[in-house]
Amino acid sequence: MTSLIINEMFYSIQGETSRSGLPTHFIRLTGCPLRCVYCDTEYAFRSGTKMTFDEIISKLNINLTKFVTVTGGEPLAQKNVLFFMSKLCDLGYSVSIETSNCISIKDIDSRVSIILDVKTPGSQEEDKNLISNYQELKSSDEIKFVICSLDDFNWAVEYINQNNLYNICPILFSPSYGEMPLQELANLILDNSLKVRLQTQLHKTIWGEINGK
């Protein structure tokens, strides 16, 4: 219960969510049960190094930033991550987790900010969404939709209304890189008067698709 398989760790600018622009420690865990067609981290599916909690924490520096994002892959595929995130919170870090909507978030420490990625049809994994997760979200969490097309956009709008997501927490619309033009998605949000936050992957704007991870 005191180790995780780590694909990579790095210090960078957070490119997404309400924390966009903040210097952040990223911890990418190995493994994911999904195969979204637009996935940009396929390299994290299998390769990784087993590290103890203490070894991972020794590579962090709270003097650089208190912000830590745990991501993947799908980080919740490794159950020990729940204990690890609680330990980070105990140490004074401000922790967020980027998780798909295919594994229960029920046991995540309440101090952790959850970024829940609801899968649209464009991902070809929308049948994996767990509706039960929505009742576990806090008002400080965020729900993210990656929009690949106009069909995805229309699906997301209907899905939000069906599941009353506006009353739970902030909602993010992110264009699928290379598929949905940012300007087109911005216009769709404005034309439909949606109460969502448009986000782009700032890290890719700064460093490009490969170096921006």
Which of these, 51, 48, 31, 50, lies nearest to 39 by C-alpha position? 31
Q: Radius of gyration (Cα) for the chain, nearest Å?
A: 17
pLDDT class of 22 with cuts at 50, 70, 90: very high
Q: What is the CATH number of the domain that holds 60?
A: 3.20.20.70
Q: Provide the number of structural domains found in the chain.
A: 1
pLDDT of residue 118: 98
pLDDT value at 93 more than 70:
yes
Q: Kindly state the average pLDDT of the residues 186-209.
A: 90
pLDDT at 177: 84
pLDDT at position 212 over 60:
no
Q: Please give the pLDDT value at position 211.
A: 55
Exposure of 195 in the CB half-sphere (CA atoms within 13 A): 9
The angle, 0 to 180 degrees and rounded to 10, between the axes of the packed helices 150-162 and 182-191 is 40
Closest CA to 13 of 23, 3, 5: 23
For 10, the domain range is: 3-211
pLDDT in the model for residue 40: 80
The pLDDT score that the predictor gives to residue 144 is 97
Q: Report the share of the chain in percent with pLDDT over 90.
A: 85
Does residue 204 have a pLDDT over 90? Answer: no
